[in-house]
A and B are shown apart, each in its own frame.
Chain A
Amino acid sequence: MKLLPLVLANLRRHRLRTLLTTLGVALATFLFASLRSVVTTLNAGAEVASASRMGVQNATAIVFPLPLSYRERLAAVPGVAAVTWANWFGGLYGDGKTFFAQFAVDPETYLAMYPEISVPPGQKEAFLHERTAALVGKGLMEKVGWRLGQDVTIRGTIYPGDWTFTIRAVYTPTVRAMDDRSFLFHYDYLYERTDHRATPGWYALQLSDPSHAASVAQTIDAMFRNSSAPTKTMTEKAFNQSFVTMWGNVQFLMNSIGMAVVFAILMVTANAMMMTARERTGEVAVLKTIGFTDRTLFGLVMAEASVVTLSGAVLGLGGAKLLYAGTGFNGFGFLPGFDVTPATLALGFGITLLLAVASGIVPALRAARLSIVQALRHVE
């Protein structure tokens, strides 16, 4: 502890180098926390998925629609208790900077299938009985500052034109992993205004018995195999994941980027530590002459590496935690309940400790093993 001022003084020697290395570690740990939280949030969302619900999407990809006529055929499949459907609207609001997800849903069946979307009874009635009514998440209401009864105009991108809705109801999710920033409106309105072009993006099914999920999926996919729109039926958990990961294997991508980032910063930190150690050969010899042991010198270099990497990690991991919690970030509606979990923070600090050891070990050993006589001959 008495030696801490020496460690800090050494770090002040090249302020810019220390600052850049610390910021590099901060950025790397921030990215690590962000990427990993995408994965944990997706998993948390998938965890709370109901085992008694399934999703049906176009076998090619979820961005391709399914015919409206499938609803009766799906409802007729043995084991299917209820059917609902929805559509991704993808419109822009205001200057386009306020992103939120809009879904066209079949109101009655949708709310029946998703009891976790909690709506006050009076508002629910109002929403169900007005063709241009909207049901908006509480979080979104607060974020944009909307009030109940207000008209909201959304500019269509997939379905062009200005679409005006009246907010008639506000929902509160009863589970954390459910998004509270979505904007729901009547599928019929979309269907009619687009001259019946906007067919369902996906269907959701309620099963009478979750244990029949596999056979139900098989029956459905076999039924549509040779149609113009073959289907892919999966559990809600898998469906939730595929909905968010429509652009590929997110988990693999996130982990690969995360590892690459950590590895890159390891090189940067190790290099900075090596440079630092090399410049100080003479000083290490002087400290040893004074009576500092090899072990102490090893510790001093390791402490230096630890201070840099750990303060970077505090900035990066703490920054990620505070930033995402403070802004209520939810991945534009794709990542409801986005959160940097304690496990992610612990893992981040664990990796940082490894980083400290990996970047400090070589210069620390070099300092410990340095022969005073040899070192001074090179200096003088």
Chain B
Amino acid sequence: MARVYNWQIGRETSYWYPGSRPKKQFAAVFDINKCIACQTCTLACKTTWTSGKGQEYMLWNNVESKPFGYYPLGWDVRLLDKLGAQRWEGGRYAGSTVFEAAPAGERVLGWGPEDQDYAYPNVGEDDCAGGVTKGAATRIPHDMMWFFYLARICNHCTYPACLASCPRGSIYKRPEDGIVLVDQTRCRGYRECVRACPYKKVFYNALTGTSEKCIACYPKFEKGLSQQCFLNCIGKIRVAGFLSTPKEAREDNPVDYMVHVRKIALPLFPQFGLEPNVYYIPPIHVPEPFLVQMFGPGAPAAVAAYRALPKDKDLSALLTLMGSTERVLSRFRRAGGSVEGYDESGTEVIRVPVTEPAHVRAAIDVAQGVVRSNIT
């Protein structure tokens, strides 16, 4: 195994291949606080890419309720259990990654789901953690019961375990944008990638005998357009872009700003060691130990920054840009009461007010002869 640097865990780690970062890396930020689990994203993906025979149970995009929702069943807890203690020393991960913990004869520490593990994509939906006791029901907000929605796609990891595990080299990471693809002409359906991906985002097509995964809607992304699950997101929780390395981070790049500069968006299970490239703004109502396990030691600071948003002009401006345009934004700028988004060529493609103008209307609509009712 080679040694590579993984900034998310603050140290070098082992990887099957020598490290070579793509020229540009597709990345995304999902604001968990805004997701309503409407599954529009899931359907947008399903109708675009996986409506074929043999793809019936495949969800390249899925949304699960945490802590009790999983697709496939137990995808995260089963690996967390295998991985053992996951200790952080400040920003440095002191435990083992899935590459470092690979048993003899394996390239990656993984496990293979059974058929039925894919049979309950909505298991645990809206199930709460904990019970409400000691009169907590009379107080709002109370901090005893919680759940949140976790929308998931392939993370187009910098060090993909799927790619490392394939003995045929059928999986590749595109140098131009870091998108990870299974070569459908080369795959022979061994399912090493299914076993190895900690996020369980490669799926076996039993009718074509090959493994398939999220392609980050590359035909759109190549044209500067966002992915289908981003465009159709009802909660406007998603934004796509190119992420720089921490040293090269640009303050005016939306994803760089949230991930590197303000550190409000965090990777999912950074301790697995893959440097995943979908970043989450953690839910602010969830107990800290759970968030730290899921998003790493940066979670408490990210929650604090989110809670301070009303006073944070730049960050709140940027968050209003999320989901406002299909174009991929490479730069943003706050100007007065508005925020502007620019594409790669420097052209302004979107401008939105940071605070939506309020309209107060009379209680009775005289022209129509009706009484208006408040629907919020």
Q: Are chains A and B native binding partners rather than an unrelated pairing?
A: no
